[in-house]
Amino acid sequence: MRLLKERNIEDIALGAAVLGTGGGGDPYIGMLMAKQAIRDYGPVELYTLDELNDDDLIVPTAMMGAPTVMVEKMPNGDDIVNAFKSIGKYLGKPIRATMSIEAGGLNSVVPIYTAARLRLPLVDCDGMGRAFPEIQMVTHTIAGIAATPMAMSDERGNTVLMETINNRWTERFARSITVEMGAMAMIALYAATVGQLKTASVPGTISQAERIGVTIRSARQTEEDPVNTVREAVGGYLVFKGKIADVQRRTEAGFAKGDAFVDGIDEFAGKRLQMSFQNENLVALIDGVPVVTVPDLIATLDIDTGEPITTEGLRYGFRVAIIAMPCAPQWRTPAGLELVGPKYFGYDIPYVPVEERYG
């Protein structure tokens, strides 16, 4: 066990935005929320799964909706607490800790806020090892863990509690409710025991995010090549370098969808990359040829600082580097590819592990 203090949060948020592949919400907003909660309520205890009892109950907390909406619509903090407490009342059992359901910018630090507010520990794991746009797209689903009971709350004080027959139906109903709540809701779901999570979750993601954040900060201070430093830290591959020429973005059915087009520079001069996203980056093509697809991670970094750029932050003229990273091994199984492979998102592209393309 170790304590997460204010100084740890910025590194976690920064590194989680790399793992979030463009999604998971604005890391800056989440960082401010978590730091204020620690300032008000004290540091958060971070435990590994091995440090807890197998029958301890863990409930993740997160934000659901279109990240573009959070640029103007802020959570008020009580909404996530309301969702978490609703699950506890329904289950009638004490909840030992919370955790991140995904390694995304905002959604890696929202549980830190929850933990500080409620004086609960945080578990060093998540359900993706990255970020994905839909509720059923978690390693819990592969392991047979139900998303429901699920609680959803908005900033007005509305709370909805649901039970569904499977996790895909949870996504369908929750997405509709999220739209009615203003395209953003705070959620608590996927209650599971530590014993279940030892096989169902992706371990160590909070610590991994912090290490990546420290790497970016250190590279900035020592004036090293930040992109290459990050690439080495995550065991990734450089896919492209260029200048954003166009971004076509729309908010649709509770998702931020679109495409970014990047004109190559340096060794990529004369080439164009197209990156398609649905909250998170899904597919990258160079001159029409696929080079990386989900479930592997596609991250956009500022060339000069190495800082990750979320999909809602992409702008014309930005000089960016695109790096790719191998996904958690659970996603490369038949069940994992059925949940989050390129065909699920409508791309008639076979999945090829990134290291086979670039290794």
Q: In CATH, what number does 224-358 get?
A: 2.40.390.10
Q: What is the pTM of this model?
A: 0.91
Q: List Cβ neighbours of 13 (8 Å cut-off, separation of 6 or more).
A: 27, 28, 30, 31, 34, 105, 108, 109, 209, 213
pLDDT of res. 95: 97
- CATH superfamily to which 2-205 belongs: CV3147-like domain (3.40.1610.10)
What does the block give as tokens for 36?
A: 């204020």
Ranges of the chain whose pLDDT falls below 50: none
Using CA atoms, how far apart are residues 249 and 35, in angstroms rounded to an integer? 31
DSSP conformation class of 329: G
Neighbours of 80 (CB within 10 A): 27
Q: Provide the terminal-to-terminal Cα distance of the chain, rounded to the nearest Å.
A: 36
Strand pairing report for 44-47 and 125-126: unpaired
What does the block give as tokens for 257?
A: 């969808």
Q: What angle do CA 83, 86, 90 make, to 5 degrees?
A: 145
Spans of all domains in the chain:
2-205, 224-358
Q: Which of 76, 63, 70, 84 is nearest to 185 (CA)?
A: 63
pLDDT of res. 224: 84
pLDDT of res. 279: 85
Q: Which of 103, 102, 59 is nearest to 81 (CA)?
A: 59
Using CA atoms, how far apart are residues 146 and 142, in angstroms rounded to an integer? 10
Using CA atoms, how far apart are residues 72 and 218, in angstroms rounded to an integer? 31
pLDDT of res. 176: 94
